[in-house]
Amino acid sequence: MFRRIALRHVLFVLALMLCVQPLTADSPIQRMVIPAEGQPEGTYQVLLVFPPGQVWGIRETFSPEIEFISADLPDNSVQKSGSEVHFALIGDQNVSYIIAIEPGNSGEITGTCQNMVTGVTGYLPRAWISDSGSIHIESGTGEHPASDDSAQVPPAPLGPGLFLIALCAGGLLFSLRREQQ
Amino acid sequence: MRPCHLILAVMVFITLSGPVSGALPGDTSGNDHLEKSELAAMVLAALEDGTAIQNARDAAYVYMFWNGSPKRITDSSGKERVMWRPFHRVVVMNSETLETMRSIGYDTSPVIGVDKYTLQKNEFFPEFSGTAGIGSIWAPDYEKIVSLQPDAVFLYATVSKSSCDEIEERLARTSPDITVLRFDGYLPETYPAEIGVLGELLDCQEQGQEFREFYTANIDAVTSSIPAIPEGDRVRVYFETWTDYKSCAEGSGYDQKIGMAGGSNIFANEPAEYPEIDPEAVLERAPQVIIKLIGSGKYTFGGYQGGDEASFSEVYGDITSRKGWDALEAVRDDRTYLLHTDILGGPQFFIGVQYMATWFYPERFADLDPAGVHAEYLSRYQRLQNPLTNEQIFVYPW
């Protein structure tokens, strides 16, 4: 029992570390996606971490397989609009929300953000959940001046390093499931 | 329609209706305070409809930097001015205030109109060479000002007061949405306070404070020593403006600055602020130091415009060879100087005051380095790429 719990915790922490988008110089915004604890299979917690002391307008777009469940922000700071969910993050650094995806389906989360104080906009790291439940997170494009809106660059392609991390995360989650069974 | 959609639609309508004078952006409760929930609604409305973004950004600014309340300041005219949102389009009709804006680190990109004198100072204000000209405070181009749709217009407070009062009144009648702000930008008695108020107004408190300390330290380096010099021992100074034999008297800015540097103006008691002087009177009052102001009138050369050492030399020769002046102590002892108005007439007067102090009391102020202070002011506070060149002459002889 003790060994099982310890291993589960170790694996959970490892998965957490691997799923956190590594900090890069041009993208200080992080996305983390993990299976939601104590929730049915296919339920995930998404955490977005922003630099402190700002006002952010966040637009998350979900593929049709993904259902937005709830967020930890007050209701007046969250707006669902079709396949999008908008967040107003004021003064805080984090927004956390729950999504659900039918087990066996894959889905994608893309997002943009705008710093309402400075006007700079950017893409959030893209997240992809595979049909096996593995989680891939690409790098975002960080911030760029709002005046460049018309010339927004598409999300960067998945780099080999990130692909390796995603594979590792998938493997660890698979191990975790087996351990639970 | 779901209730949240209805609220959002109302928010979009409110935000699309454009800036309203006298109201904070997004203050739907109308209590002159922007609550977090009101800002959240603005942000969500902007995400829903991109055209509402500017109002949301203004609201975010007000919430983060003004604690959600309108900003209230008292300008140098003594009036309380209320700002409901940050300025995006600014017209500055006095170059002294524009210079001070740079000194306090204000990003001047919202400045979309300047007076004609600013445009003439291309060497000092290169970034405004393509900015719209709006005439001058004496001949303002109202049509141009209004067409620029500024949200703020800066005017003098006490200098050329009647002209500026008239501009303010006319703008209040025709364009009440424009916030008029009045600062002089160079008077020794009010300048430190104005630096503070401008810093507060433009959210440049930190750099404003830094500049104020720089300015105050350089003024104090001179003025703190002056009280120790007995009145009777102060150096007698003949100060001549760019009009020959026109001096200054008590009440004028030049007289004040001579006093700050410890000089005793030999024509301080003349009834006019800028009296015309009988040449004989100069000889009678036997000045120990002579200062000739250049940079305007027939003496338009030097300063930031650069060049023309020959003109300095010629003027210097003409002055020192005036009839009977060879008997004056100021000429005999080589204590006659040319001083450019660029470093005495405007916000840079503290540099001119330092030069004068070193001329009046060379031993007492041997440690002063006005040229160094000047260079630091230009590079550190004015952020000019090529602050000074060898061709720019501000004092002669140096």
**Residue B276: both structure tokens together:** 């015309």
Asked whether the predicted pLDDT for residue A48 surpasses 60, the reply is: yes
CB contact (8 A) between residue A57 and residue B47: yes
Closest-approach residue (CA) in chain A for B8: A79
- Asked if B382 contacts B99 with a C-beta cutoff of 8 angstroms, the reply is yes
The 3-state DSSP class for residue A155 equals coil
Residue A78 lies in a domain: yes
Asked whether the predicted pLDDT for residue A158 surpasses 60, the reply is: no
Where residue A142 falls among pLDDT bands split at 50, 70, 90?
low
pLDDT of residue A164: 36
CA–CA gap between residue B370 and residue B375 (Å, rounded) = 9
The position carrying tokens 């008029």 is B180
Q: What is the DSSP string of A89-139?
A: EES-SEEEEEEEE-TT--EEEEEEEEETTT--EEEPPPEEE-TTS-EEE--
Asked whether the predicted pLDDT for residue A152 surpasses 90, the reply is: no
| Cβ neighbours around A180 below 10 Å, total | 8
Domain B72-213 = CATH 3.30.230.10: no
**Residue A116: both structure tokens together:** 């309402």
Q: Report which of B273, B218, B236, B241 is spatially closest to residue B341, judged by C-alpha positions.
A: B241
Q: How far is B59 from chain A (nearest CA, A)?
A: 9
> Considering only CB atoms, which chain A residues are within 8 Å of B36?
90-91
pLDDT of residue A1: 45
The position carrying tokens 């900015």 is B131
> Considering only CB atoms, which chain B residues are within 8 Å of A74?
37, 40
Question: H-type helices in chain A, by residue range?
Answer: 2-19, 160-180
Closest-approach residue (CA) in chain B for A88: B40
Asked whether the predicted pLDDT for residue A140 surpasses 90, the reply is: no
A:8-47 residues touching chain B, CB 8 A cutoff = none
pLDDT of residue B158: 93
Q: How far is A86 from chain B (nearest CA, A)?
A: 7
CB contact (8 A) between residue A79 and residue B57: no
Q: What is the pLDDT tens value at each position of chain B, 398 positions in all?
A: 455 455 444 444 444 444 445 799 999 999 999 999 999 999 999 999 878 899 999 999 999 999 999 999 999 999 999 999 999 999 999 999 999 999 999 999 999 999 999 999 988 999 999 999 999 999 999 999 999 999 999 999 999 999 999 999 999 999 999 999 999 999 999 999 999 999 999 999 999 999 999 999 999 999 999 999 999 999 999 999 999 999 999 999 999 999 999 999 999 999 999 999 999 999 999 999 999 999 999 999 999 988 788 999 999 999 999 999 999 999 999 999 999 999 999 999 999 999 999 999 999 999 999 999 999 999 999 999 776 777 789 999 97
Residue A96 lies in a domain: yes
Q: How far is A5 from chain B (nearest CA, A)?
A: 42
Residue A12 lies in a domain: yes
B:214-233 residues touching chain A, CB 8 A cutoff = none
Strand-pair category, B235-240 with B263-265: parallel
CATH number at residue A36: 2.60.40
Residue A168 lies in a domain: no
User: ipTM value of the model?
Assistant: 0.72
**Residue B32: both structure tokens together:** 């002159």
pLDDT of residue B307: 73
Amino acid of residue A141: T
B:21-40 residues touching chain A, CB 8 A cutoff = 36-37, 39-40
Assigned CATH topology for domain B226-396: Rossmann fold (3.40.50)
Residue A106 lies in a domain: yes
- List B91's β-bridge partners, or say none: B113, B153
Which residue of B8, B36, B64 is in closest CB contact with A79? B8
- List A27's β-bridge partners, or say none: A24
Residue A180 lies in a domain: no
Residue A179 lies in a domain: no
Indicate the number of domains in chain A: 1
0.90 exceeded by pTM: no
Residue A123 lies in a domain: yes
CB contact (8 A) between residue B46 and residue A57: yes
pLDDT of residue B3: 52
> Considering only CB atoms, which chain B residues are within 8 Å of A59?
47
Where residue A181 falls among pLDDT bands split at 50, 70, 90?
very low
Q: Report which of B363, B342, B191, B176 is spatially closest to residue B262, judged by C-alpha positions.
A: B363
Q: Report which of B222, B257, B208, B214 is spatially closest to residue B377, judged by C-alpha positions.
A: B214
Higher pLDDT, B113 or A161: B113
The 3-state DSSP class for residue B151 equals coil
pLDDT of residue B302: 93
SS3 content of chain B, % helix, strand, coil (to 5): 45, 15, 40
Q: What Cα–Cα distance (Å) separates residue B319 from each residue in B37, B242, B275, B327, B393?
A: 71, 12, 19, 13, 18
CB contact (8 A) between residue B44 and residue A59: no
Q: Give the range of the structural domain holding residue A89, as residue numbers without chain letter.
A: 2-149
Backbone phi, psi, residue A113, to 5°: -145, 155
Q: Is some CB atom of chain A closer than 8 A to the CB atom of B61?
A: yes
